[in-house]
Chains A and B, each alone.
Chain A
Amino acid sequence: KAGVTQTPRYLIKTRGQQVTLSCSPISGHRSVSWYQQTPGQGLQFLFEYFSETQRNKGNFPGRFSGRQFSNSRSEMNVSTLELGDSALYLCASSLESDREGSPLHFGNGTRLTVT
């Protein structure tokens, strides 16, 4: 079974631009979560989607948004990029939520660099 696939693997953008990252979950997984990983803050939760609905959102500004499609694939968008948005963005999928004992399975991330 293929794992979580994230595209692109690397991105370089300029301040003020916007970016869209894509995630394909493991087949059959209906929950998709996004995390931001930086050396200073570690792994921080962005948002979680299930059946095209956002169920929870982390403490990030409104410039960060996402969506999930009917096939469970997900995208996240960051508008008006800032230097501090440079990070590894990780997508993870699970059958349900972790409350059900279904752990998250992560992709290898998209490395975003904002210059």
Chain B
Amino acid sequence: GESVGLHLPTLSVQEGDNSIINCAYSNSASDYFIWYKQESGKGPQFIIDIRSNMDKRQGQRVTVLLNKTVKHLSLQIAATQPGDSAVYFCAEISNSGYALNFGKGTSLLVTP
């Protein structure tokens, strides 16, 4: 069956550095991916999405890269700030089209 997993459970970076959060997926039929950020006590917050017909998409300080050959997704955060400290989830659309399959999450800690 399909699954979404993350390579690293925790990531610690210094303020100002760039962060890279990775995600692997197993369903080659997946065609839509989303990154969410969840801060303590809050629900997941949409960051950026990408369709499978794209390799790269950029937002404000964030870039998502999609490598369909190896079924790998990454989220790059430029000039990481303390406010970026949170758990980051990648998600893919399920085969039904109405549900998201979430990875377990990566905890990003930004140190001064």
- A-side residues, CB < 8 A to B, are 4, 31, 33, 35, 42-45, 48, 50, 55-56, 58, 90, 92, 97-99, 101, 103-109
Asked if A43 meets B98 with Cβ closer than 8 Å, knowing A90-B44, A101-B32, A106-B45, the reply is: no
B91: chain A residues within 8 A (beta carbon) = 43
Bin the interface of chain B by size: 20 to 34
Inter-chain contact B44/A48, CB cutoff 8 Å:
no
Question: Is B49 in contact with A103, judged by CB distance below 8 angstroms?
Answer: yes
B49 partner residues in chain A, CB cutoff 8 A: 101, 103
By secondary structure, the A interface counts as strand
Inter-chain CB contacts under 8 Å: number: 68
Can you show 25 pairs from A to B with CB atoms below 8 A apart?
Answer: A4-B43, A31-B98, A33-B98, A33-B100, A35-B100, A42-B103, A43-B91, A45-B100, A48-B98, A48-B99, A56-B96, A56-B97, A56-B98, A58-B99, A92-B43, A98-B34, A98-B93, A98-B98, A101-B32, A101-B49, A101-B51, A104-B34, A104-B100, A106-B44, A106-B45
User: In the complex, what residues of B have CB within 8 A of residue A99's CB?
Assistant: 32, 93, 97-98
With both beta carbons as reference points, the residue of chain A lying nearest to B44 in the complex is identified as A106
